[in-house]
Amino acid sequence: MNRTNFKGSTREYVYEKIRESILSLELTPGTVISEKEISDDLEVSRTPVREAFLKLTEDELLTVLPQRGSFVTLIDLDHVEEARFLREQAEVGMMKLACHSFPESKRLDMLANIEKQKLAKEKEDEQALFLLDRDFHLFLAEGTNKKRVWQVIQRMDVHSQRLRKLSMNLKLNWNLLIEQHEAMVQAIEQKDERAGMEIMHEHLTLLQYDQSPLKAEFPDYFQ
């Protein structure tokens, strides 16, 4: 991705660029960066960089100390858990709504998505599985008219991505996850509110694993 073929303003370009660098751990937690440094690197002026910094500050991905400097925010496990908690509460609620009424077209989208998940699982394409999983949950949000909620959750949830990156050897049990996805669609079809909520609860509780080994291995990256 470079500036010329990026659709959107320079500000958005810079924001996405830095954001990706932070989430991929190219910029490790604690790394000091300055407006000038980035503007020189990306060959843009300080203004769009500064505006990107402000948005990154909102995300708590960057910490700015006025007149002193800026650095990539350290990972805060409390923050990660709060994001997971909010996501679970929101999606269980969406599931409840979905089991009451849900557009047929979205349900079909979800079914097709699950088939793609199975294919990706065969190919062991983790990246594709990650994106398909995202889309699956997005369909649920769209079908229950809660897209803004989904966006808020997504934005808060970025911090878990850095953890996932750190624990590269973490093998997700995709067979189970895909089974749960299937059970969700079934619950929606059968309007089985109790089953749907229960499965979603279990599904999102799986994300709650013991992160202390990571903190022990990379102490400098954590608060």
Per-residue interface string for the shown chain with DNA, residues 42-81, x marking contact by CB under 7 A: --xxxxx-xx-x----------xxxxxxx-----------
State whether the Cα torsion 213-217-221-223 is positive or negative: positive
Pick the piece of the chain touching a second copy (CB under 8 A) from 32-40, 101-109, 145-153, 169-177. 145-153
Per-residue interface string for the shown chain with a second copy, residues 56-75, x marking contact by CB under 8 A: --x-------x---------
* Contact by Cβ (8 Å): 150, 138: yes
Give the HSE-up count for residue 206: Cα atoms under 13 Å, Cβ half-sphere. 15
What's the closest the beta carbon of residue 89 comes to a second copy, in angstroms? Answer: 4
149 near a second copy, judged by CB under 8 A? yes
11 near DNA, judged by CB under 7 A? yes
Closest to DNA by CB, 9 vs 205, is: 9
Is residue 91 left, alpha or beta, with left meaning phi > 0 and alpha meaning psi from -120 to 50?
Answer: alpha
Q: Which residues contact 214 (CB under 8 A, 6 or more apart)?
A: 163, 166, 167
2 near DNA, judged by CB under 7 A? no
